[in-house]
Structure 1
């Protein structure tokens, strides 16, 4: 990506107001176009090993404008540019490949269970209770674990109802969220091969997102 994109986002973080944004609208448009170019490249490359349907760049890009109606933080703009890449784009409701570009070494690629219904969480726990080995094999795979070493998200403090406290998969069963991410430095983001670095991450993440989409969405549709 162009280093000017990171510079714009750094300036926006320091001047998060409508007056400054309007005065620097051209810088925003250039940064947005830079992000769209990257997302377009990723859609084309991911489409070679995953059916993305007819998803377009605009379907994947998230708005930079914040919804401040229910937030104490009234900053009108996000400090990042982001996209959700997958079949149907950002609004599919299913687990996609989430890419967020933010200066200060805060850029990351991620995916997983984050905002799910009570019913979906119950399906996930039922699957873990029945056969945890499939998921453990995916997230324990050497290359995956090296790229995504840590599970992110919240867990229950006690065991969910219906499961024994001495269950061998106690930690997975407690999970309310199960999200993996890989961070990139600003230097990596500004490098010529950043798109290929993200593509590598997506390829590693795919078995996990496929598994989670099946458990949370597709399995229920089969019955």
Structure 2
């Protein structure tokens, strides 16, 4: 296992890419991307594959250049006004073994010059999954509150994401947990500093934070009928 993965050069490359987001520039600096972004990211993912069983045996760390835990650097510009071709961050997701895309339950590491953070949970789940989570909250309110407010979890993670303006259809507007039922995302985020990302303590810190999210992730997985 490595002690250190990302460096100041990683952040320098991402900053330069943000200022020169063209295919021509990227091709000229592709070796820097390999050296300072993709290779250390894949090394980190590979080492995390040994750590994931301590978090959950059902979430995968796959160190593959394409189709694994490292998100592709190319942006999907088909439906976006922003036509810049490349992402200017590193995105790493350890998703559930049954998951097929970024909307699956997962653990996430985000590295960018302007913000670094860890995230857990479900981002933009499908309507059926969202309904099942909301139903689990209504049917098991005490278990939900215990998971949501777990001391170890809330010490570092903050609930984030979008919510509906009103109670979702089929759920009481005056339900005591209506603010949770309004959620369209069930994610928690924990900030990271650039110093933490470039330190030797990154991997053990990530493992510790992910383990602290076990009550929240466990509730979501149970609500969806997934193993945790």
Q: TM-score, normalised by structure 2?
A: 0.87
Cα-to-partner distance string for 1:184-223 (whole Å, 9 max, x where unaligned): 111111111111111111111233223212212439xxxx
The whole-number CA distance in structure 2 between the counterparts of 1:64 and 1:89 is: 24
Corresponding position of 2:222:
214
Corresponding position of 2:135:
126
Corresponding position of 1:15:
20
Corresponding position of 2:182:
174
Structure 1: give runs of 5+ residues left out of the alignment. Answer: none
Structure 1 residue 50 corresponds to structure 2 residue 60: no
The whole-number CA distance in structure 2 between the counterparts of 1:122 and 1:46 is: 28
The whole-number CA distance in structure 1 between the counterparts of 2:82 and 2:220 is: 32
Cα-to-partner distance string for 1:103-134 (whole Å, 9 max, x where unaligned): 12x11111212222222222112111111211
The whole-number CA distance in structure 1 between the counterparts of 2:226 and 2:99 is: 18
Quote the offset at 1:53 in angstroms: 7.7
For 1:169-208, what aligned pairs fall within 5 Å after superposition?
169-208=177-216
What secondary structure is seen at the aligned counterpart in 2 of 1:171? helix
Structure 1 residue 111 corresponds to structure 2 residue 120: yes
Q: Structure 1 segments of 4 or more deviating over 6 A?
A: none
Q: Which moved more, 1:1-10 or 1:52-61?
A: 52-61
The whole-number CA distance in structure 1 between the counterparts of 2:123 and 2:186 is: 6
Aligned length: 217
Cα RMSD of the aligned pairs, angstroms, is 2.1
Corresponding position of 1:82:
91
The whole-number CA distance in structure 2 between the counterparts of 1:89 and 1:21 is: 34
Instruction: Please tell me whether the aligned partners of residues 52 and 60 of structure 2 are also in contact (alpha carbons under 8 angstroms).
Output: no
Q: TM-score, normalised by structure 1?
A: 0.89
Higher helix share: 1
